[in-house]
Amino acid sequence: MTTNTDTGALERLSFGEAFVYWLKLGFISFGGPAGQIAIMHEELVERRRWISESRFLHALNYCMLLPGPEAQQLATYIGWLMHRTWGGIVAGVLFVLPSLFILIGLSWVYMAYGNVPAIAGVFYGIKPAVTALVMHAAYRIGSRTLKNAWLWAIAMAAFIAIFALQLPFPVIVLAAGIIGYLGGRYAPDKFAPGGGHGKTIQSPGPALIDDHTPTPEHALFTWRRFSRVLLTCLALWSIGMGALMALYGWDAVLTQMAWFFTKAALMTFGGAYAVLPYVFQGAVEHYQWLNAPQMIDGLALGETTPGPLIMVVSFVGFVGGWTKAIFGTESLFLSGAVAATVVTFFTFLPSFFFILLGGPFIESTHGNLKFTAPLTGITAAVVGVIVNLAVFFAYHVLWPLGLSGHFEWPSALIGAAAALALFRFKAGVIPVVLAAGLAGLALTFLRPVFS
């Protein structure tokens, strides 16, 4: 392992130039993690040549093993590798910040004007499309993961556990991880990781951080640095949580949101769709910060804004703060905006911890990550959990008044069309959601004509 530094290449890339790129990425990072990673690969590896193919994939492999949004973590990792700690913080924050502002604005429109017929009609069309999107996510993850009967069995067991037995999501994740660990030891061929992010193109020409560029000094692992970063990270979380407890108390809405979404951030193995059932169990059923239809609407907003899909938690926070009127009925927007900000802070803080703590170890060792079998088991369970989420959404969309009520056949048709577009024609998320919203809007104005 080379321990020399090579600052010359990185000095040619100013912090300001990188800042502009990360800000731009925050506004154009549509398409979920696969799309966001593809955007970064095209810009950073193929066009700008800031980092080589192998170093990019080395960072990506580490981020894929972490809980949390892997695309945001990858941006943080590359920013940190290029410009130290502040480079990573800026890259990671700018990946999220534009989406936070946009979602706060859209959430305000939703809460203040959601009952306006035009807006209600748009969401009527979007809801069945979101149900199709969730099922498509289960299909995508399942086709990549469920390579044998063992993994299929884990997926089906997870579905039964959450659908019929109503076990908590963390319990399912823990059990799947243990099964994966044991399977990796006794049946390693059955738990070998399958799939990835697709075939990439090797780009010619040197990169600023090339295959053989020595590890920068700040990226070398030392126990002294690890301890310093660990204490800083724990202090940041403790200060934030302690301030909320001192100001509002443990049982206050903001404090409970901070604690709940810290736990949720550690549960996001397998992407945002994997943690949504856990968020639903807590935010909808336990704390009642919002109701089930609002949760579906929030997922639709998250799908159509830039940034990681887990940003749907910002919507959950906004609606919860607004609904609970934490600053009084005269300050509903402030209540929602502060709650959304608190939720976002505590959801993404662990992602920075993982990169700043683990990045130096990964860069310094350049070793192969061997601990993929537990993740394979967890990902298989995630498929079953996501199918349960799709069933839940379909029930609330197609029978809004319960099984004894009427069946929403227009929603069923919109959902079927969305599923056909996703599965058969490989349409993108945004076109599907926009088309479904327009269909719902058209129904709103056509219904009085035919009634």
Question: How do residues 59-118 score in pLDDT, each as one tens digit?
Answer: 876 787 778 888 899 999 999 999 999 999 999 999 999 999 989 998 998 898 876 777
pLDDT score, position 35 = 62
Length of the chain: 451
Mean pLDDT of 195-216: 62
Mean pLDDT of 410-432: 89
pLDDT score, position 370 = 53
Is residue 377 within 8 Å of 177, Cβ to Cβ?
A: yes
- Read off the pLDDT band of 31 (50, 70, 90): low
Mean pLDDT of 359-383: 71
Residue of 48, 7, 8 lying closest to 24 (CA atoms): 48
Mean pLDDT of 282-311: 84
Return d(Cα 29, Cα 2) in angstroms, integer.
34
Average pLDDT of the chain? 83
Contacts for 419 with CB less than 8 Å, ≥ 6 apart: 132, 135, 136
> Chain centroid to CA 242: how far?
26
Say if residue 231's pLDDT is above 80.
yes
pLDDT score, position 167 = 83
Say if residue 37's pLDDT is above 90.
no
Residue of 12, 50, 361, 22 lying closest to 215 (CA atoms): 361
φ/ψ (deg, to 5) at 81: -65, -35
pLDDT score, position 374 = 79
φ/ψ (deg, to 5) at 51: -150, 150
- Among 32-46, 94-108, 287-301, the minimum mean pLDDT is found in 32-46
**DSSP string over 88-154:** HHHHHHHHHHHHHHHHHHHHHHHHHHTTSHHHHHHHHHHHHHHHHHHHHHHHHHHHHH--SHHHHHH
pTM: 0.72
At 273, which helix (H) or strand (E)? helix 272-279
- Read off the pLDDT band of 273 (50, 70, 90): low
Say if residue 34's pLDDT is above 80.
no
Note the pLDDT tens digit of each residue in 123-139: 788 888 878 887 887 88
Scanning the structure block, which residue is given the tokens 């399958």? Answer: 194
pLDDT score, position 420 = 95
pLDDT score, position 56 = 83
Is residue 315 within 8 Å of 298, Cβ to Cβ?
A: yes
Say if residue 190's pLDDT is above 50.
yes
Greater model confidence, 206 or 364: 206
Greater model confidence, 419 or 8: 419
Mean pLDDT of 272-289: 83
Greater model confidence, 307 or 159: 159
pLDDT score, position 199 = 43
Share of the chain above pLDDT 70, in %: 87
Say if residue 428's pLDDT is above 80.
no
- Among 277-286, 310-319, 323-332, the minimum mean pLDDT is found in 277-286
- Read off the pLDDT band of 244 (50, 70, 90): very high
Contacts 24+ apart (CB under 8 A), 395-402: 396/292, 396/293, 396/296, 397/127, 397/128, 397/131, 397/296, 398/128, 400/293
Residue of 369, 366, 355 lying closest to 82 (CA atoms): 355
CA distances from 218 to 6, 233, 436 (A): 11, 17, 49
pLDDT score, position 87 = 94
pLDDT score, position 193 = 57
